[in-house]
Amino acid sequence: MKPFRWFSFAVAALGSALALPVGAAPPFEDSIAQRVLACTGCHGPQGRAAPDGYYPRIAGKPPIYLYNQLLNFRDGRRRYGLMTGLLTPLADAYLREIATHFAGLEVAYPPPQPAKENAAVIEQGRLLVVQGDPARRIPACVQCHGDAMMGVAPSIPGLLGLPRDYLNAQLGAWKTGIRRAQAPDCMNEVAKALTPQDISAVSAWLAAQPASGKPATSLPRPLPLDCGGVTPSAAGGSK
C-alpha cells in the first residue's frame, strides 16, 4: 500500500506541475468564467476593475443593471467601440447569462481614493449626494441608488468603489447625451441639471468613500423620477 500511495502522490504532483507551470493561468475549464475572459482582459480578474481607473468594476453590480448596459452598448445607447464590437454578435440570452455571472461575484473592494479637492468642494459633493438640491430640482443620489449608495437590486447600480475619473466621465456623458438608457432616461434629466462643478464635486466625494457590501434588496421610498431601465421590483412601487 505504502509504495502505491507514494507513487500516486508523485503522479499527482507531476500532473499538477505539468498543468500549472509557474506563473501560468489556470488550466482550461468549460465554465462561464472561461467563456468571458474577453471581458476580464480590461475589467480585471473576476471583473474587479483594472488599475488604470478607466475600466469600471463589474463584479457584484446588480444583474439587470449589467444586462441593460450590455444591451445599451450593443444597441448603440452607450458608446465605446471595443464594447460595441465585442457585443454585436451576441444575443440577449447570452448577455443575460454574462450579466448574472458578474453580478454574482463577491470580490473585495479596493480602498477609496483620497480626495484632492478642498473641503468646500467635498462638502458640496456630499450635500448633492445625500440631499440633492430641491431648489434646482436635483434629487439626491441616495434616493435612487440606496442610502448605502451600493445600488438597489436588480437594476440600479451602486456609486461607490468606482474611480473618480470614471464617475466624471459617466456623468459628463449622461449630461451630453453620449450615454443613454431606455426611455424615459432619468439620468439624462438629472445630469443635465448638474453643472461641471457639481459633477466634479459629486465624483470626488463618492470616490473617497469606502465601499463594501451588496446592493440593497429594495428601495425604502418610491423613485423621484421615472426610469426606463429600472424593473418594477426596484422601483419600489413608484407607479
Partner 1 sequence: MTARRVIALLLGALFIAAAVVVALNVRDEAEGLESPVADSIATRTPADLIARGEYLARAGDCIACHTARGGVPYAGGRGIETPFGTVYAPNLTPDSQTGLGQWSASDFWRALHNGRSRDGRLLYPVFPYPNYTRVVRADSDAMYAYLRSLPPVVQASPPHTLGFPFNLQASLAIWRALYFKPGVYTADPARPAEWNRGAYLVEGLGHCNACHSSRNALGAPVGPLDLAGGLIPVQNWYAPSLTGGDESGVADWETHDVVAMLKTGVSARGAVLGPMSEVVLNSTQYLSDADLAAMTAYLKALQVVRPARPAASPPAARTDAQARGARLYETHCVACHGERGEGVRGAYPALAGSRAVTMASSANLVHVVLQGGFPPTTAGNPRPFGMPPFATMLSDAEVADLLTYVRSAWGNRGAPVSTLDVSRFRSDVRP
Indicate the residue among 47 and 215 with the shorter CB distance to partner 1.
Answer: 47
The answer to whether residue 164 forms part of the interface with partner 1 (CB under 8 A) is no
User: b/e string for 81-98 if b means 16 or more Cβ within 10 A?
Assistant: eebeebbeeeeeeebbeb
CB of 66 closer than 8 Å to CB of 99: yes
CB of 185 closer than 8 Å to CB of 226: no
The answer to whether residue 24 forms part of the interface with partner 1 (CB under 8 A) is yes
The answer to whether residue 40 forms part of the interface with partner 1 (CB under 8 A) is yes
The answer to whether residue 28 forms part of the interface with partner 1 (CB under 8 A) is yes
- Work out which of 8, 16, 34, 195 binds partner 1, going by CB under 8 A: 34
Indicate the residue among 11 and 90 with the shorter CB distance to partner 1.
Answer: 90
Closest CA to 224 of 156, 167, 160, 159: 156
Site string (85-114) toward partner 1, x via CB under 8 A: xxxxxxx-xx--x-----------------
d(Cα 46, Cα 44) in Å, to the nearest integer? Answer: 6
- Work out which of 1, 25, 119, 135 binds partner 1, going by CB under 8 A: 25
Interaxial angle between packed helices 92-103 and 63-74, expressed in degrees from 0 to 180 and rounded to the nearest 10: 140
Interface with partner 1 (CB under 8 A)? 24-26, 28, 30, 32, 34-42, 74-77, 79-82, 84-91, 93-94, 97
